[in-house]
């Protein structure tokens, strides 16, 4: 039986039928601005943990992954060992390496650009890129999301740290809870499947359960065992 193929030609101003470039840019900017504003919370949290403005800005410039940054300053604020805090942040950031494996084939960027693009491989840029119907729009979504989020995240980190330094004791204002609150707000919409919710629930139980008996930073490392534990149980059932 003959196989019929439909060839779709992209027209100027569009990345795919029904997907104009303006729509990709609008969606990417929406994500970049919404998440970038939470840099205020990181700046405040970092200042409350005793981190200087310069150190907070360096973290946002060089690390640029919100979950790891919040985990690091949160552990330090609780009096945790810096090496343990860094280890917890590192394990949270390893997920970006897996994102990179998927995006490298989708975006197929030139070799000279890849080291710079790798710095922008985070949850938000990955989500926007994977939501696009073709490579052209995926590249556009990734670039706009990464650029807008990187600029705004670093700007709001600076403003948040300077503001917290100006008002003094952040715990007296209740601003020390801003970091965890933003982190949970960013995480909740990503839990779409039963497996993801099970991992999050078990990680919460492990983290809170060991919090009173282990040094600061260690419960985060133990909570990371939730993912392999849930996947192992799921494999046993199937």
pLDDT single digits (tens) 146-187 = 999 999 999 999 998 898 776 655 555 555 555 555 556 656
DSSP 3-state of 161: helix
Q: What is the average pLDDT score of the chain?
A: 80
Question: Where on the phi/psi map is residue 71: left (φ > 0), alpha (ψ -120 to 50), or beta?
Answer: alpha
CB contact set of 147 (below 8 Å; sequence gap of 6+): 32, 120
C-alpha torsion 151→153→157→160, nearest 10:
110
According to the model, what pLDDT value does residue 223 have? 78
* Residue predicted with more confidence, 188 or 93: 93
CB count, 10 Å around CB of 207?
18
C-alpha to C-alpha distance for 177 and 210, rounded to whole angstroms: 20
**Over the stretch 84-134, which tens digit does the pLDDT of each residue have?**
778 878 887 888 898 999 999 999 999 999 999 999 999 889 989 998 999
Phi, psi of 215 (to 5 degrees): -60, 155
C-alpha to C-alpha distance for 64 and 172, rounded to whole angstroms: 28
* pTM greater than 0.85: no
Residue 61 · residue 154 · CB < 8 Å: yes
* Residue predicted with more confidence, 22 or 1: 22
C-alpha to C-alpha distance for 17 and 14, rounded to whole angstroms: 7
Counting every residue written for the chain, the total comes to 238
C-alpha to C-alpha distance for 201 and 208, rounded to whole angstroms: 11
The position carrying tokens 């330090």 is 76
Label residue 3 by pLDDT band (50, 70, 90).
very low
């Amino acid at each position: 039986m003959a196989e019929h193929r439909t060839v779709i030609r992209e027209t100027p101003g569009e990345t795919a039928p029904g997907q104009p470039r303006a729509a990709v840019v609008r969606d990417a900017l929406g994500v970049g601005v919404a998440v970038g504003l939470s840099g205020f919370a990181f700046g405040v949290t970092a200042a409350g943990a005793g981190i200087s403005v310069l150190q907070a800005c360096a973290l946002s410039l060089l690390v640029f992954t919100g979950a790891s940054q919040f985990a690091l300053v949160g552990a330090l604020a609780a009096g945790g060992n810096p090496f343990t805090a860094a280890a917890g942040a590192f394990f949270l950031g390893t997920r970006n390496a897996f994102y990179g494996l998927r995006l490298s084939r989708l975006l197929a960027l030139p070799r000279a650009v890849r080291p710079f693009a790798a710095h922008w491989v985070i949850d938000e840029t990955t989500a926007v890129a994977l939501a696009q119907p073709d490579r052209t729009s995926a590249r556009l979504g990734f670039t706009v999301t990464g650029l807008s989020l990187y600029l705004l995240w670093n700007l709001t980190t600076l403003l948040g740290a300077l503001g917290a330094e100006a008002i003094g004791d952040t715990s007296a204002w209740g601003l020390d809870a801003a970091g965890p609150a933003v982190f949970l707000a960013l995480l909740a919409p990503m839990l779409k499947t039963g497996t993801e919710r099970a991992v999050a629930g078990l990680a919460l139980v492990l983290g809170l359960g060991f919090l009173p008996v282990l040094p600061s930073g260690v419960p985060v490392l133990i909570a990371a065992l939730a993912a392999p534990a849930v996947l192992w149980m799921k494999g046993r059932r199937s």
